Amino acid sequence: MSEAWRPDVLGAGFEQRTLPLGTDSEGEVVATLVRHLPRGLRRAGELRDVDVLYVHGWSDYFFQRRLARFWADRGARFFALDLRKYGRSLRHGQRLGFVADLATYDEDIEAALEAMGDRRGRRLVLFGHSTGGLTLSLWAARHRELVDALVLNAPWLEFQFGFVGRAALAPALGLGARFRPHDPVPQVDLGFYSRAQEAAADPDDPMEPDPRWRPHISAPASTAWLDAVLAGHATVARGLELAAPVCVLLSARSILPTRWSDELSTVDTVLQVDAIARAALKLGASVTVERIAGALHDVFISHREARDEAYARLDRWTDGYLSRDSRRGGARP
């Protein structure tokens, strides 16, 4: 049974609720649902029948207050989910983010939807960043009758080295996932992405992620986890055939960094955005791809100009696809 709502670390206007998910070999397993409560609980606006559920990426958690306000200002109810073993849900002795199958998160999402309260007559918008975008896209394909729209912020829909790299790596990863699931996967993270975020920081829109939950250098991934991600990529490549409209926001450019330069604060240094843009077209029949010049991997924590442009593009898309005047029989099949 879920615990009661209580104040969240983000301060005034935010609450959190622990969602018990049983136990595993590492002990207690929980997810954590965060909600934004705007002053006066305003529910006027074109999106007053919309619930938004946000899911973070790898080595990450929810901390973006402005993103919550964006949706609340339009009348939507905003919720964010820290998945098991991430952020608010990480417990002592647990391997950060470890799962061997992305479908495991069905339990987390189901618990979140239940904790969100009475949803009769309400539309569901899924909002995912990076690995969270992949997780929610796959979940939407398995629960398409529940989803009215998807917003994906640099979703990890394809391996950085494309199909060829994925096909070459998958057999060895599959064996590793079976016999040594917790072995770390070699990674190259020199801390440039964190440094780029610091360079893009805006004192007028402060964001102060907790380094315990969002470390400056990405946490090591395991063979089983990466094998699960590559399986998700393969599923996307075959086509998800989603009926709900999808908005994908991406940086205009990627760079694979080997040394620091100021240019790294204006590009995606995590994913290959051209590959993601191509893979996004496999999601469904109605996919809008928005390329944001000067954006980081998370477009909503970029320099002010790029960040404001991302919000403007999202506003335009929500007005076109989610406003009450734009509804033509609903998005669900």
Average pLDDT over residues 206-213: 91
Residue 129 gets the label, from left (phi > 0), alpha (psi -120 to 50) or beta, of beta
- % residues pLDDT > 90 (the chain): 79
226 pLDDT more than 50:
yes
User: Tokens at residue 101, please?
Assistant: 């199958």
Per residue in 28-71, pLDDT (tens digit) is 999 999 999 987 655 668 999 999 999 999 999 999 999 999 99
Proportion of the chain in helix, strand, coil states, percent, rounded to 5: 35, 20, 45
Burial 191-208 (b: 16+ CB within 10 A, else e): ebbbbbbeebeeeeeebe
CA dist 115 and 189 (Å) reads 36
Mean pLDDT of the chain: 91
212 pLDDT more than 50:
yes
Per residue in 280-327, pLDDT (tens digit) is 999 999 999 999 999 999 999 999 999 999 999 999 999 999 986 655
H/E segment holding residue 153: strand 149-153
269, 310 contact by CB (below 8 A): no
Per residue in 122-136, pLDDT (tens digit) is 999 999 999 999 999
